[in-house]
């Protein structure tokens, strides 16, 4: 991942509603949720949420797929993985023992 893409992703996530929507969709997984269901679960007006979802999609952290009349949003897990890899690429200057908690998550398959 390029630094500019990482900055755009972080900027998109640096707002409470967008971060909540993103975390909800990460929990749901690749199947995603329709926009109205995201709105319902977050208690956000659909008209307000649509702008937030568009920002997250432009930043590459969400995907959108039309299913008949509904748009389903899902976390772009490959983008999330690239973002995590970008963050830990130079972890601890090569002193892997300082990154034991991150390595444990990787070993358990919680971060890929």
The CATH number that applies at residue 57 is 1.10.10.10
62: three-class secondary structure by DSSP: strand
Report yes or no on 49 lying in a domain: yes
pTM, two decimal places: 0.82
The pLDDT value recorded for residue 83 is: 87
Report yes or no on 112 lying in a domain: no
| Banded model confidence at residue 63, pLDDT cuts 50, 70, 90 | very high
Report yes or no on 38 lying in a domain: yes
Instruction: Return mean pLDDT, the chain.
Output: 88
pLDDT, tens digit, 9 for 90 and up, residues 71-81? 999 999 999 88
Which range marks the domain in which residue 90 is found? 3-107
Work out the number of other CB atoms within 10 angstroms of the CB of residue 19. Answer: 14
Distance in Å from the first CA to the final CA of the chain: 15
Tell whether the model's pLDDT for residue 112 goes beyond 60. Answer: no
Report yes or no on 94 lying in a domain: yes
Asked whether 70 and 34 are in contact (CB, 8 A), the reply is yes
Tell me the β-bridge partners of 66: 71
Report yes or no on 99 lying in a domain: yes
Q: For the chain, how many structural domains are there in total?
A: 1
């Amino acid at each position: 991942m390029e630094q500019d893409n990482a900055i755009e992703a972080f900027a998109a996530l640096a707002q409470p509603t967008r971060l909540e929507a993103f975390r909800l969709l990460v929990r749901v997984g690749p199947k995603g949720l329709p926009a109205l269901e995201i709105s319902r679960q977050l208690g956000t007006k659909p008209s307000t949420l649509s702008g937030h979802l568009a920002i997250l999609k432009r930043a590459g952290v969400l995907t959108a797929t039309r299913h008949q009349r509904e748009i389903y949003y899902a976390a772009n897990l490959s983008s999330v993985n690239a973002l995590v890899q970008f963050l830990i690429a130079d972890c601890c200057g090569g002193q892997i023992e300082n990154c034991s908690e991150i390595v444990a998550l990787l070993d358990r398959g919680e971060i890929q």
